[in-house]
Amino acid sequence: MTALSEGVGAALDAVRARIDAAAARAGRDPAAVTLVAVSKTHGPEAVRAAYARGQRDFGENYVQELVAKADGLADLVDLRWHFIGHLQTNKCRDVAGRVAMVQTVDSARLARELGRRAVAVGRTVGILVQVNVAREAQKSGCEVGELAAILAEAEATPGVALRGLMTVPPAAGDPAASRPWFEALRALRDEHGGASRLPELSMGMTHDMAEAVAAGATMVRVGTAIFGAR
């Protein structure tokens, strides 16, 4: 084993253990929390190392980087890519054929374009609607007031399958500061049809993953704790 694969493997095990412990403390089934390993800026060999340790869900933020990695790692046939960065409509074509899920849909227009591109390549792409729960200026994600219309449009759009909600709370040093925003996303899920309509809640990163799991996350997106600093 190389140093890289040992380091990534051990870090991955430690992160999984933290998630499992947080789930147990919250009385939740650890298997109900999917770890998305965020590999942005790290090379394909880091992804291979995590894959070799059993990791299957990976997140990328930049279209060009996603395309290069997805194509270079196409031999890992059961690997699932999640797009978690800001997506422009003119890049939907590049992601539609490669990802299992786009977690950052923040408009009906984006859902429609993604769906159109997915249908063209004979696929269905899972989507999460990203919500700007803290109403931060210049932040990605739809406004709370736009959510109902986007959800309804997404459900009516061929080529995309609505799976839930995603958020990135305001940056804060204290992980506990994220908790109210995670609770807010869960409350929105409950207001808009609950887990039967929106089974996935993607929230929590390296510093606040335990808070997110306690608040009901079904997906946590963790980069630094697995692959190291960027």
Interface residues with ligand PLP (CB under 6 A) are 38, 40, 61, 84, 168, 205-206, 221-224
164 vs 223, beta carbon nearer ligand PLP? 223
Residue nearest ligand PLP, CB atom distance:
223
In angstroms, the Cα distances linking 228 to 39, 152, 159 are: 10, 39, 35
Q: Where are the beta strands (DSSP E) in 86-153?
A: 101-105, 125-130
67 vs 119, beta carbon nearer ligand PLP? 67
5 vs 206, beta carbon nearer ligand PLP? 206
Q: How far is the CB of 102 from ligand PLP (least distance, A)?
A: 12
84 vs 111, beta carbon nearer ligand PLP? 84
Asked if 165 and 198 count as a contact pair (C-beta separation under 8 A), the reply is yes
Q: How far is the CB of 140 from ligand PLP (least distance, A)?
A: 8
Q: How far is CA 209 from the centre of its chain?
A: 13
Q: How far is the CB of 184 from ligand PLP (least distance, A)?
A: 17
Q: How far is the CB of 178 from ligand PLP (least distance, A)?
A: 11
* DSSP conformational letter for 36: E
Interacting residues of 165 by C-beta distance below 8 A, sequence separation 6+: 128, 129, 130, 131, 185, 188, 189, 198, 200, 201, 202
